[in-house]
Every structure is written in C-alpha cells, then in structure tokens.
Structure 1
Amino acid sequence: MRILKIAMLAATLLPLGSYAALGGAPSMDASAPTMMLRSVAPDTPSAAAYTVRASQTTYGVTVREYVLPTNVVFAVTWDGPVRPDMNALLGSYFPNFVSSGNGHPRGTGALIERNGDFQIESAGRAGHFFGKALLPRLMPANVHIEDLQ
C-alpha cells in the first residue's frame, strides 16, 4: 500500500511532457513519444554533425532537439497550439528569455533576441505558436539558423 501511495505521489508531481533543456542532454523520458528524425553528416564521413529528435507534448506541441555527437542539445524548436513550458525547454537559459523584454512587459507577441551566447525567436497567435532557441557557440560549422525547422 505504501508503494502505491509513493507511486501516485510521484505521478502527480512529475511533469506530463518532458524534453531536453537547451545546453543539456537530450530527453530520455520513455513516456513521451520520441523519434529520431535524421542524422546530418558533416563534410567528413567519420560521424554525424548532429541528430534531430522530435517529441510531442500532451498539448500537441512538437519539440525538436538538435543534438551534437557529444550528447548536448545545441538548439530546440517548437510548433503547436500553445507555447511549451519555456522554463523546462530553456533550462538555465530561461532567465535570458525572461529578461529579453528589457524591462518592458511582454505579452504573447513576437520575441527575437540575439546576443553572443543565446538566441531565441518566438512568435505565434492563439492556436499556433512556434519558435527556436539556440546556442551559437555550440552550433556545428556548416549549420545555419535557417536549417533549424
């Protein structure tokens, strides 16, 4: 009986959808449907420059993780009817996202912020939100921001 109570408590406290935090390891949540979309090879045939993993939250948001061979997420993109949990998605870079408004209140309008270490583009309207966040210093040499869909 005690184990059942602990399991029920854990199920209510754990998030429903899980994905990688920017700059961290990719998500390993077995409950979230995840699929490897593709590996993109660099000019040298020794290894892939990065892989793309996609998962969908319970709210219908598709999150794509761009993962280096060193198992670090250098970019994430999202597309869906609501914004994903930005705190979970951006991890330690979330304070940069919050302070991007430069002290001005931010609503649901578009946000494009680029500084040396962190870039984010987030836009949308009710029923359709999309965006991308990346760490330019970690991006492979032949990858362009436009390549991240």
Structure 2
Amino acid sequence: MELNLCLTRLALVALVVSVPAAATLGEDVSSVRTDRTQLQGTLQITGAAKFAVHEIQLPSGTVVRQYVSPAGMVFAVSWRGPSLPDLRQVLGRYFEQYTEAVKTSDGGPGPRVTQQPGLVVQSGGHMRAFFGRAYVPKLLPRGVLAGEIQ
C-alpha cells in the first residue's frame, strides 16, 4: 500500500513538471494556434464531418492531438511519446478535478483510468513511452464516440 501511495505521488509530480504541451481541454480552437507558436511545434490539421484533429509534434517527439468540434471547441486531447505533455495546460480547468481523483484512487500499477461524470482521463506508459487521452463527455459532438479519440 505504501508503495502504491509513493507511486501515485511520483506520478503527480511528473504531471506537474512535464514538458510544455498543447491546447486546453474545454477551450476554443485559438488555444491550439497559440500553443503551436509557443512550442515551436509542427501543426498538422485533418478534418472530418464530425470534428477536426489538430496534431502538434513537440520538440521532445511527443505528439499531442486536440479534437475540435465543428463549433470550434476542444472536446478531447490525446498524447503519445517519450515524455508527458504538461497536463496542467492540456487539461486546463479540469486539471484540479483530475489530480483530486488520482489522489483518492487505489494507485495500482498499470494504466490509470479516471472516469467521472464531467471528465474521463486514461493514461499510462513508462519512461520514454507515454500515452493517454482525456475528454469531457458532455462536449462530445453528436455522433462522436469516445473510441474515436486516439
């Protein structure tokens, strides 16, 4: 139990001191443009009828994807790469809700799933190979399933 608590605290520290990242969950698409400029990352945009994906390649090699609704709202984010993005920036106003949920979870090994009515975060990995996604269920555009967030 003490080892699990220690690992949970270590994960929280890693979240706070991670490399700078990308757009903010629950904000408009302008946050994607601002972050791409500040990060000096490469931006690629792909569109579909239900949403657009704004993908930023960070200098670290981590790729952060922002899922933007037709209304211009970032409803989900995902990441994959050698370092964690700055989850405080990525999750924005949802960051505190996420960290509180992590503190009260069992802290077992393996990928972490934090599922609440207003926020879902799934993350895992190990040094040099992190992955995850976060989304706000009520912001998902009509017809979009959580499984489409990669």
Which category describes the TM-score, using the shorter chain as reference length? 0.7 to 0.9
> 1:46 maps to what in 2?
none
For 1:61, the aligned partner's letter is T
Give 4+ residue runs of structure 1 displaced > 4 Å after superposition.
Answer: 104-109
The match for 2:79 is 78
Cα 1:18–1:130, aligned 2, differ >3 Å: closer, same or farther? Answer: closer
TM-score normalised by length of structure 2: 0.76
Aligned to 2:33: 28
Task: Return the letter of the residue paired with 2:41.
Answer: A
Consecutive unaligned residues in structure 1, runs of 5 or more: 1-15, 42-48
1:64-87: CA deviation from partner (whole Å, max 9, x where unpaired): 000012211000000001111110
C-alpha change, 1:83 and 1:105, in structure 2 (3 Å) is: farther
Bigger relative CO (Cα 8 Å, ≥ 6 apart)? 2
CA deviations on 1:4-46 (whole Å, 9 max, x unpaired) are xxxxxxxxxxxx855210001231133321110x2221xxxxx
Tell me: CA distance 1:21–1:95, structure 2 relative to 1, closer, same or farther (3 Å).
same
Structure 2 match to 1:12: none
Deviates more, 1:106-115 or 1:52-61: 106-115
How many residues are treated as equivalent by the alignment? 126
Q: Distance in 1 between matches of 2:20 and 2:103?
A: 30
Distance, in Å, in 2 between the alignment partners of 1:34 and 1:108 is 34
Cα contact 2:52–2:67 (8 A) shared by 1: yes
2:21–2:85 CA contact under 8 A, matched in 1: no
DSSP 3-state at the match of 1:28: helix
Q: Cα distance 1:66–1:119, how it changes in 2: closer, same or farther (>3 A)?
A: same
1:140 is aligned to: 141
Kindly name which structure, 1 or 2, has the bigger radius of gyration based on alpha carbons.
1
Consecutive unaligned residues in structure 2, runs of 5 or more: 1-18
